[in-house]
Chains A and B, each alone.
Chain A
């Protein structure tokens, strides 16, 4: 059974600092997804990582995937307040349609 774990679950950062959110998963998977959710809102897709070694960047966020280690990272560079949100990773369990989500990382960026 696929399990997905994120850490940390809560992260308080200062503006301008760098940090990394980790997403570990327990069984082989071909792709991994990152989403953002603002309080009281729906989810927005950030990245779809398709293969080992995949790296994608959008603004201050960069995501990478190591399928051998079953690990994805979401790196935040020079955080700004607008990045405050909850970030979820999700993993395809290779059974033709099941996405399993991590618990989410609640990020708060303070001036």
Chain B
């Protein structure tokens, strides 16, 4: 049982490049989410999904796309990287009972540097 996995662990991009951050979970969780963590700002929700085929925007969705074609995978796409997207990105998953989120399990994070 690997829990929540994220790849890559670290990535350097040039401004304007695109890339996909991968997230996978093997716990059959309905709910998955992406956060970014910046110093002094806590975690901010980018996008989330309550099940396969269903996604929605969080607090800071601009510049990011997501899709959820399977229960296990929830990739985050950066369309055209900007220095402001330099951050640590965390993926999380949990059971969702009647729309309410249970204990969230976080992945190890991806550190992204945009030059």
Q: Which residues of A contact B (CB under 8 A)?
A: 30-31, 33, 35, 41-45, 48, 88, 90, 92, 96-104
Contacts and interface: CB of A to CB of B under 8 A. Distances in A.
B50 A102 contact: no
A35 B44 CA distance: 14
Interface string B11-26: 0000000000000000
A43 B42 CA distance: 11
Interface of B: 31, 33, 35, 40-45, 48-50, 56, 58-59, 90, 92, 96, 99-109
Contacts of A43: 43, 90, 92, 104, 106
B33 A99 contact: yes
A42 B108 contact: yes
A41 B90 CA distance: 10
A97 B42 contact: no
A35 B58 CA distance: 19
A31 to B, nearest CB: 6
B40 A100 contact: no
